[in-house]
């Protein structure tokens, strides 16, 4: 059975444990990249990662995007939204359909 993980700074992800998700607090980008790689090689179908951490590990994110699983989804942290999540959705849609149908060039 597949699992769901949440990866990021402790303050941003702590509440997800109450929902039954497995949380993996990390303190720096090196630990974050290593943990993301380990999780992606296990039985995780979805990995939520804080946008702040995702911006620090672009190589690992790209490696995860090459496979079918896991789906790595950036989420805002306690410090707010950086826009990375919506930009990744925009990029995925552009790849799938060949043009920007979400923002129409904006």
- CA-based end-to-end distance of the chain: 40
**Which of 53, 83, 46, 94 is CA-nearest to residue 68?**
46
Range of the domain at 62: 3-79
Residue 19 in any domain: the answer is yes
Q: pLDDT of 33-89, one tens digit each? A: 999 999 999 999 999 999 999 999 999 999 988 888 999 999 988 877 777 777 777
Q: Which helix (H) or strand (E) holds 7?
A: strand 3-8
What CATH number is attached to the domain comprising 33? 3.40.50.10580
Confidence label for 1 from pLDDT (cuts 50, 70 and 90): confident
What's the number of domains the chain is made of? 1
Residue 96 in any domain: the answer is no
Checking if the pLDDT of 104 tops 70, the result is no
Peptide bond into 70 cis (omega under 30): yes
Confidence label for 90 from pLDDT (cuts 50, 70 and 90): confident
Residue 24 in any domain: the answer is yes
Residue 97 in any domain: the answer is no
The pTM for the full model equals 0.81
Residue 95 in any domain: the answer is no
């Amino acid at each position: 059975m597949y699992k769901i993980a949440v990866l990021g700074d402790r303050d941003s992800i702590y509440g997800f444990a109450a929902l039954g998700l497995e949380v993996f607090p990390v303190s720096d980008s090196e630990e974050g990249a290593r943990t993301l790689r380990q999780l992606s090689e296990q039985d995780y179908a979805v990995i939520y990662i804080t946008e702040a951490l995702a911006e620090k590990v672009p190589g690992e994110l790209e490696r995860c995007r090459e496979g079918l699983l896991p789906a790595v989804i950036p989420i805002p942290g306690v410090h707010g939204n950086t826009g990375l999540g919506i930009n990744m959705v925009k990029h995925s849609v552009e790849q799938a359909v060949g043009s920007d149908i979400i923002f129409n060039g904006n």
